[in-house]
Amino acid sequence: MATLSDIGVAAAINILSALIFLLLFAILRIQPINDRVYFPKWYLKGLRSSPVTSGAFVTKIANFDFGSYLRFLNWIPAALKMPEAELIDHAGLDSAVYLRIYLIGLKIFVPIALLSWSVLVPVNWTSDGLQLAQLRNVTSSDIDKLSISNVEYGSDRFWAHLVMEYTFTFWTCYVLMNEYEKIASMRLAFLQSEKRRADQFTVLVRNVPPDSHESISENVEHFFMVNHPDHYLTNQVVYNANELAGLVEEKKKMQNWFDYYQLKYTRNKEHRPRVKLGFLGLWGKKVDAMDHYTAEIEKLSEQIMAERKRVKKDENGVIPAAFVSFKTRWGAAVCAQTQQTKNPTEWLTEWAPEAREVYWPNLATPYVSLTVRRFVMHVAFFVLTFFFIIPIAFVQSLASIEGIQKSAPFLDTIIEKKFIKSVIQGFLPGIVLKLFLIFLPMILMIMSKFEGFVSISSLERRAAFRYYLFNLVNVFLGSIITGSAFEQLDSFLKQSADQIPRTVGVAIPIKATFFITYIMVDGWAGVAGEILRLKPFVIFHLKNFFLVKTEKDREEAMDPGQIDFYATEPRIQLYFLLGLVYAPVTPVLLPFIIFFFGFAYIIFRHQIINVYNQEYESAAAYWPDVHGRIISALIISQILLIGLMSTKGKAQSTPFLVILPILTIGFHRFCKGRYESAFVVNPLQEAMIKDTLERAREPNLNLKGFLQNAYIHPVFKDEECEDDEYEELIEDSDDENCVVVPTKRQSRRTTATSSNPNGGSSQPLSCNQPDTSKVKPEP
C-alpha cells in the first residue's frame, strides 16, 4: 500500500509532465508556422488568414518576439474570458454544454470535498482501527489512516459516514436538477433563437409501404396530401446512391491530382509533368500527367452522369423513405409526434435530423431488420464486454516470441537479437491491449451504425452508452476485483445478491491509491497532452512538407478535429463515479478529482475556442444521457457503501441506507418527467410562436424554394453544383434554393471548398454560404 509520500512523488512526476506539455504548448503555439495547428477554428471562421502575409521568411516560421515567451501562460485567462453566450455563438451549444460537464464536476465535488475533509477526515484520523489491526500484524499506510479503514469494527463513528452519504446524495441531486433545468432552458432558447432551418419544417418518413400503382414519391405525396391536407408542402425521396458516391469520390481524387500537376507545371513551364500508370505510380507506361487526368476526369464525369440518371430513373434506386416538408413548423411538429396509420411499422415519422448529420446508408433499414439488428448488437456488446480478453490474449500469444517464430520463421534472425527480443516481450502484449482500447470507441461506433440509427448524434449517443458500460465493467469493477470481466460475472452469479456489494465494497478502500495514480496519469498528464495536439501537429507538418500540393490541400491538411462525444464523455463519467464512490470512504481522493475537473475545464475551453470544429449541432441532445449516468454513479456508490458497511459490523445501517438508492431513482424519474421532453420533442407552442413571427416578418417567403434541395443526398448536391446550375440556383431563389443548414457556425468543409468554387469542387454541402468565399482570394 502506498504511503502519502509515494503519492506525493507520483503527483510530482505527473504534474511535472503536465507542466512540460504546457510549456511545450506555450512555445509551439506562438510560432507562426504552427498557427494552423493551434488556431484552426479561427481559420475556418474566416477570422484569421495565413500568417504568411508579409515579412521575412524566417518570421513566418519562428517567433522572435521574446516578450511573448514571458507571457506563456496567458492563454489561460484568455480561454476563461469568453462569456458563455458568446461561446455558444462561437462554437455551438453542444460544445458549450460539454464544458458544463466539467463545471458540474467542480460544483459537485468542491463542497463535498470541503465537507468530507472537515468532518470525515478528522473522524477517521482520530480512530484507531488500524492500530488495533497492526497488533494483528496488518500493515497499513498514512492514506489508510485518513480513510474509513481506520474506524474500528462496529464503531458508532460510522454514523458520520452515513449522514455524510445522505448529504452528498442530496447535494449531488440538487446540482444535477439545477443543471438539467438550466441546460433544458439553454437548449430551448438556442432552438428558439436559431434562424430558419430546413429541419424545422421537415420530418423523416421511413418504411413507406410499397404500392404497385405509384412510385414512392407519388405515394408519399398522396398520403400526406390526404392526411395532413392543410400543412403538407413537398417531399424529397432518398436515392440509394452508395455506388454513385464512390464514383464521385474517385473523381475528386483525380481532380486533386490534376490540380497538383497543373501547379507543378505553372512553377516549371519547361517540361510537362509525366506520370506512370502502374501501381502507385511506381511502374508502367509513362504518359503526360495533365492530359491523363483530364481524360480520366472526363471519363468519370460521364460515368457519374450515367449512374445519376440510372439511379433517378430506376425504381429500385429509390429507398422507401422520404423527407417530407410542411408549410409550417407546427405542421412538422405535429407529424413528427403522431402515429400516421394503424400499422405502427409503416409510415414511421420522426423529426428530421439536421441535413449534415443524416447517416444516409441507414435510411432504408426496414422495421423487422431493425429489431433483429438491435438484438444482435445487444448480444454482441455483451460478448465484447465480457469476453474481449479472449481475442486479445490470442493476438498477444501471436505477438510473443514463440508466436512470431512459428507464424513467420523468416524473421528468426531479427528476433534473436537481444534488444528486439526484450522489446517484443516487454511491449507488444501491452501495446496490443492499448490498441484495442484505443480502437474500442470506433468499434462501438461501427456497432451503432449497424444497429440502424439514422442520425450521427444518435449513433454517438448509443456508442457513448456502451463505452460507459464497458468502462464500468472492465475499468472500474475490473480494477477493484482483479480478474477478467467474465470471471467476475461468473462469481457474481454464484454469489448471493447481498454478498456482491460486500465483495466489491470491501475492496474499495484498498484500491484508493491505485485510482489516485490512475487519475493523475489519465486525468492530469493525459489532459495536458490534449492541448499539445501532438498527432495533428506531426501530421500537419508532415503533410505540409510532403503532400500539400495546392492551397486547398493545406486547408485540408489542417485538422481541427472535434470533441468525439462518444469517446470522451464516458471517460469523464469514470471520474464522477470514482468521486462519488470514494467521497464517504477515502476523502483523500477528492482533491485529485477536483484538480482534474478544473484543469480539464480550462484546457477544453481553450481547445473549443481555438481548435475544435464540430461537424454537426445537436443542441445538447445528449444531456439526458449524461444526467442519467451521473445518477447511476450515485446509485452505485450508495450500494457499495451498503456493502462496505455490512462488512464493518454496521449491517443494521442497511435499512437506513437502502432508502437512498430508492430516493435517487425517484429523483431520476422526476427529472426525466420534468425535463427530458425538452430534449426529445418539439412543443407545439414554440413552433407556433416561430411560425407566427415569421409570417409577420416575411409574409411572402418562398418556403418551397428554401426547402427544395435541403435533403438531397450529398452526392446529388455535388452534381447540381457541378453542372453549372450552381450560380443559377442561387440567383433563382434569393440565396434560398441550395442552402443547407445556415447555423451560425460555418462548417469546416464548407469553408475549405468554397475557396475553390470553380474548380469542379466535389465537396458536400458546398452550395450555401457564398459569403465565405470572400475569406480567400481565388487562386
Taking CB under 8 A as the rule, does residue 345 contact its own copies?
A: yes
> In the set 93, 160, 297, 334, which binds its own copies (CB under 8 A)?
334
Q: Which is nearer to its own copies, 312 or 373 (CB)?
A: 373
Read off the C-alpha cell for 635: 446509485
Q: Which is nearer to its own copies, 183 or 516 (CB)?
A: 183
In angstroms, the CA 638 to CA 649 distance is 17
Total residues binding its own copies (CB under 8 A) = 47
> In the set 428, 532, 678, 712, which binds its own copies (CB under 8 A)?
678
Taking CB under 8 A as the rule, does residue 498 contact its own copies?
A: yes
In angstroms, the CA 158 to CA 152 distance is 9
Smallest distance, its own copies to C-beta of residue 392, A: 23
Q: Which is nearer to its own copies, 362 or 586 (CB)?
A: 362
Taking CB under 8 A as the rule, does residue 177 contact its own copies?
A: no
Q: Which stretch binds its own copies (CB under 8 A): 95-103, 486-494, 549-557, 609-617?
A: 486-494
586: region left, alpha or beta (phi > 0 left; psi from -120 to 50 alpha)? beta
Smallest distance, its own copies to C-beta of residue 452, A: 13
Q: Which is nearer to its own copies, 241 or 642 (CB)?
A: 642
Q: Which stretch binds its own copies (CB under 8 A): 28-36, 335-343, 448-456, 756-764?
A: 335-343
Taking CB under 8 A as the rule, does residue 178 contact its own copies?
A: no
Taking CB under 8 A as the rule, does residue 493 contact its own copies?
A: yes
Q: Which stretch binds its own copies (CB under 8 A): 42-50, 96-104, 343-351, 761-769?
A: 343-351
Taking CB under 8 A as the rule, does residue 652 contact its own copies?
A: no
Cα dihedral 767, 232, 690, 695 sign: positive
Residue 264 identity: K
> In the set 239, 351, 453, 675, which binds its own copies (CB under 8 A)?
675
Smallest distance, its own copies to C-beta of residue 184, A: 8
Residues 6+ apart with CB under 8 A from 590: 109, 112, 113, 116, 117, 579, 582, 583
For its own copies, the binding residues in 118-157 under the rule CB under 8 A are: none
Q: Which is nearer to its own copies, 195 or 342 (CB)?
A: 342
**Beta 348-351 vs 232-239: how paired, if at all?**
unpaired
For residue 229, which phi and psi values (nearest 5 degrees)?
A: -60, -35
Q: Which is nearer to its own copies, 97 or 304 (CB)?
A: 97
Residue-by-residue DSSP string for 575-605:
HHHHHHHHTTT-TTHHHHHHHHHHHHHHHHH
Q: Which is nearer to its own copies, 55 or 666 (CB)?
A: 666
In angstroms, the CA 344 to CA 324 distance is 18
- The span from the first CA to the last CA of the chain, in angstroms, equals 65
Smallest distance, its own copies to C-beta of residue 656, A: 15
Smallest distance, its own copies to C-beta of residue 375, A: 5
In 3D space, the residue among 114, 120, 101 whose CA is nearest the CA of residue 175 turns out to be: 101
Q: Which is nearer to its own copies, 230 or 778 (CB)?
A: 230
Output the CA angle 723-726-730, nearest 5 degrees.
155
Q: Which stretch binds its own copies (CB under 8 A): 136-144, 416-424, 462-470, 497-505?
A: 497-505
> In the set 662, 695, 723, 771, which binds its own copies (CB under 8 A)?
662
Three-state SS across 152-210? CCCCCCHHHHHHHHHHHHHHHHHHHHHHHHHHHHHHHHHHHHCCCCHHHCEEEEECCCC
Taking CB under 8 A as the rule, does residue 674 contact its own copies?
A: yes
Helix (H, G, I), strand (E, B) or coil at 533: coil
Read off the C-alpha cell for 768: 450555401
For its own copies, the binding residues in 188-217 under the rule CB under 8 A are: 188
> In the set 495, 704, 723, 734, which binds its own copies (CB under 8 A)?
495
Read off the C-alpha cell for 660: 437512498
In angstroms, the CA 191 to CA 354 distance is 12
Radius of gyration of the chain (CA): 30
Smallest distance, its own copies to C-beta of residue 635, A: 16
Taking CB under 8 A as the rule, does residue 341 contact its own copies?
A: yes
Smallest distance, its own copies to C-beta of residue 776, A: 42
Alpha helices (H) along 676-710: 684-697, 703-707
Taking CB under 8 A as the rule, does residue 333 contact its own copies?
A: yes
In angstroms, the CA 519 to CA 525 distance is 9
Smallest distance, its own copies to C-beta of residue 110, A: 30
C-alpha torsion 399→401→404→410, nearest 10: 150
**Beta 286-288 vs 348-351: how paired, if at all?**
unpaired
Q: Which is nearer to its own copies, 417 or 695 (CB)?
A: 695
Contact 563, 608 (CB under 8 A): yes
Residues 6+ apart with CB under 8 A from 369: 452
Q: Which is nearer to its own copies, 271 or 342 (CB)?
A: 342
Q: Which is nearer to its own copies, 475 or 481 (CB)?
A: 481
For its own copies, the binding residues in 220-279 under the rule CB under 8 A are: 226-228, 230
Q: Which is nearer to its own copies, 122 or 344 (CB)?
A: 344
In angstroms, the CA 583 to CA 571 distance is 19
For its own copies, the binding residues in 412-471 under the rule CB under 8 A are: none
Q: Which is nearer to its own copies, 618 or 755 (CB)?
A: 618
> In the set 84, 670, 724, 731, which binds its own copies (CB under 8 A)?
670
Q: Which is nearer to its own copies, 652 or 677 (CB)?
A: 677
Q: Which is nearer to its own copies, 521 or 665 (CB)?
A: 665
> In the set 337, 517, 733, 743, which binds its own copies (CB under 8 A)?
337
For its own copies, the binding residues in 15-74 under the rule CB under 8 A are: none
The sheet carrying 318-326 orders its strands as 232-239, 318-326, 202-206, 348-351
Q: Which is nearer to its own copies, 52 or 659 (CB)?
A: 659
How far is it between the farthest Cα atoms of the chain?
A: 93
Smallest distance, its own copies to C-beta of residue 499, A: 7
Taking CB under 8 A as the rule, does residue 503 contact its own copies?
A: no
Read off the C-alpha cell for 510: 484498498
What x-and-dash track marks residues 518-557 binding its own copies by CB under 8 A? ----------------------------------------
For its own copies, the binding residues in 347-366 under the rule CB under 8 A are: 347
In 3D space, the residue among 592, 607, 604, 602 whose CA is nearest the CA of residue 14 turns out to be: 592
In angstroms, the CA 733 to CA 737 distance is 5
In angstroms, the CA 3 to CA 121 distance is 16
Helix (H, G, I), strand (E, B) or coil at 665: helix
Taking CB under 8 A as the rule, does residue 339 contact its own copies?
A: yes
In angstroms, the CA 710 to CA 717 distance is 9
Q: Which stretch binds its own copies (CB under 8 A): 43-51, 54-62, 313-321, 496-504?
A: 496-504
> In the set 134, 683, 723, 734, which binds its own copies (CB under 8 A)?
683
Where are the strands (E) in 569-726, listed by range?
A: none
Q: Which is nearer to its own copies, 68 or 340 (CB)?
A: 340
Taking CB under 8 A as the rule, does residue 381 contact its own copies?
A: no
Output the CA angle 738-744-749, nearest 5 degrees.
60
Q: Which is nearer to its own copies, 321 or 600 (CB)?
A: 321
Residues forming the site for its own copies (CB under 8 A): 188, 226-228, 230, 330, 333-334, 337-342, 344-345, 347, 367-368, 371, 375, 379, 492-499, 662, 666, 669-670, 673-678, 681-686, 688
